[in-house]
Amino acid sequence: MDLRTEEERWAVWMVQARRFAERENFPDAVARMKLVRDAVRNAVGQATNATDRARLESRLARANEQLGTMQSQYEAWRSKIAERRQHTIDQAAEEMARPLPVSSD
Protein backbone atom coordinates (compact mmCIF):
# COMPACT_ATOMS: atom_id res chain seq x y z
CA MET A 1 0.00 0.00 0.00
CA ASP A 2 1.43 3.30 -1.07
CA LEU A 3 0.48 6.14 1.24
CA ARG A 4 1.48 9.30 -0.54
CA THR A 5 0.86 11.79 2.22
CA GLU A 6 1.18 11.83 5.96
CA GLU A 7 -2.52 12.58 6.27
CA GLU A 8 -3.40 9.37 4.42
CA ARG A 9 -1.14 7.45 6.78
CA TRP A 10 -2.79 9.08 9.80
CA ALA A 11 -6.23 8.20 8.44
CA VAL A 12 -5.20 4.56 8.06
CA TRP A 13 -3.76 4.52 11.57
CA MET A 14 -6.98 5.98 12.97
CA VAL A 15 -9.04 3.29 11.24
CA GLN A 16 -6.68 0.63 12.57
CA ALA A 17 -7.03 2.02 16.09
CA ARG A 18 -10.82 2.01 15.81
CA ARG A 19 -10.78 -1.61 14.62
CA PHE A 20 -8.43 -2.61 17.44
CA ALA A 21 -10.91 -1.07 19.88
CA GLU A 22 -13.83 -2.92 18.27
CA ARG A 23 -12.01 -6.20 18.97
CA GLU A 24 -11.27 -5.06 22.55
CA ASN A 25 -7.57 -4.84 21.80
CA PHE A 26 -7.36 -1.59 23.74
CA PRO A 27 -3.60 -1.53 24.42
CA ASP A 28 -2.89 -1.49 20.68
CA ALA A 29 -5.76 0.91 19.97
CA VAL A 30 -4.48 3.44 22.51
CA ALA A 31 -0.89 3.06 21.31
CA ARG A 32 -1.93 3.62 17.68
CA MET A 33 -3.96 6.72 18.58
CA LYS A 34 -1.02 8.11 20.56
CA LEU A 35 1.12 7.58 17.46
CA VAL A 36 -1.39 9.57 15.40
CA ARG A 37 -1.62 12.31 18.02
CA ASP A 38 2.15 12.69 18.25
CA ALA A 39 2.62 12.71 14.47
CA VAL A 40 -0.09 15.34 13.99
CA ARG A 41 1.30 17.40 16.88
CA ASN A 42 4.71 17.43 15.18
CA ALA A 43 3.11 18.46 11.90
CA VAL A 44 1.25 21.31 13.61
CA GLY A 45 4.54 22.55 15.03
CA GLN A 46 6.14 22.54 11.59
CA ALA A 47 3.21 24.07 9.68
CA THR A 48 3.83 27.55 8.34
CA ASN A 49 0.63 28.18 6.40
CA ALA A 50 -2.36 29.31 8.50
CA THR A 51 -4.78 27.15 6.50
CA ASP A 52 -2.63 24.06 6.93
CA ARG A 53 -2.21 24.80 10.62
CA ALA A 54 -5.99 25.12 11.12
CA ARG A 55 -6.63 21.85 9.26
CA LEU A 56 -3.96 20.06 11.29
CA GLU A 57 -5.25 21.48 14.57
CA SER A 58 -8.70 20.17 13.66
CA ARG A 59 -7.22 16.72 12.99
CA LEU A 60 -5.30 16.93 16.27
CA ALA A 61 -8.49 17.75 18.17
CA ARG A 62 -10.23 14.75 16.57
CA ALA A 63 -7.27 12.49 17.43
CA ASN A 64 -7.29 13.71 21.05
CA GLU A 65 -11.04 13.10 21.27
CA GLN A 66 -10.74 9.55 19.93
CA LEU A 67 -7.75 8.89 22.16
CA GLY A 68 -9.72 9.99 25.21
CA THR A 69 -12.62 7.76 24.26
CA MET A 70 -10.34 4.76 23.73
CA GLN A 71 -8.51 5.36 26.99
CA SER A 72 -11.79 5.45 28.92
CA GLN A 73 -12.90 2.22 27.20
CA TYR A 74 -9.54 0.69 28.08
CA GLU A 75 -9.89 1.65 31.74
CA ALA A 76 -13.43 0.26 31.88
CA TRP A 77 -12.23 -2.98 30.28
CA ARG A 78 -9.35 -3.26 32.75
CA SER A 79 -11.65 -2.62 35.72
CA LYS A 80 -14.00 -5.42 34.57
CA ILE A 81 -11.05 -7.80 34.42
CA ALA A 82 -9.89 -6.69 37.87
CA GLU A 83 -13.39 -7.25 39.28
CA ARG A 84 -13.55 -10.78 37.84
CA ARG A 85 -10.08 -11.54 39.16
CA GLN A 86 -10.99 -10.28 42.63
CA HIS A 87 -14.21 -12.31 42.60
CA THR A 88 -12.19 -15.45 41.78
CA ILE A 89 -9.77 -14.69 44.60
CA ASP A 90 -12.63 -14.06 47.03
CA GLN A 91 -14.23 -17.40 46.12
CA ALA A 92 -11.00 -19.38 46.47
CA ALA A 93 -11.54 -20.33 50.15
CA GLU A 94 -15.00 -21.69 49.41
CA GLU A 95 -13.75 -23.66 46.45
CA MET A 96 -10.86 -25.13 48.44
CA ALA A 97 -13.28 -26.25 51.18
CA ARG A 98 -15.28 -28.40 48.75
CA PRO A 99 -14.30 -32.06 48.59
CA LEU A 100 -12.53 -33.34 45.53
CA PRO A 101 -14.64 -35.44 43.18
CA VAL A 102 -14.23 -39.17 43.62
CA SER A 103 -12.76 -40.83 40.59
CA SER A 104 -14.56 -43.80 39.10
CA ASP A 105 -11.97 -46.56 38.80
Q: Are the C-beta atoms of 14 and 66 separated by less than 8 Å?
A: yes
Residue 98 lies in a domain: no
Cβ pair 56, 40 in contact under 8 A: yes
Instruction: Return the CATH number at 23.
Output: 1.20.58.80
pLDDT at 49 over 90: no
CA distances from 3 to 19, 60, 82 (A): 19, 19, 40
At 13 the pLDDT is 93
Residue 105: its pLDDT value, please? 64
Domain of residue 40 covers 6-83
Over range 54-69, report the average pLDDT: 93
Which residues touch 39 (CB under 8 Å, ≥6 apart)?
6, 9, 10, 13
> Total structural domains in the chain?
1
Asked, for residue 71, whether it belongs to a domain, the answer is: yes
Q: How far is CA 2 from CA 5, 6, 43, in A?
A: 9, 11, 20
Residue 103 has pLDDT above 80, yes or no: no
Please say whether the dihedral angle defined by the alpha carbons of residues 79, 84, 85 and 90, taken in this order, is positive or negative. Answer: positive
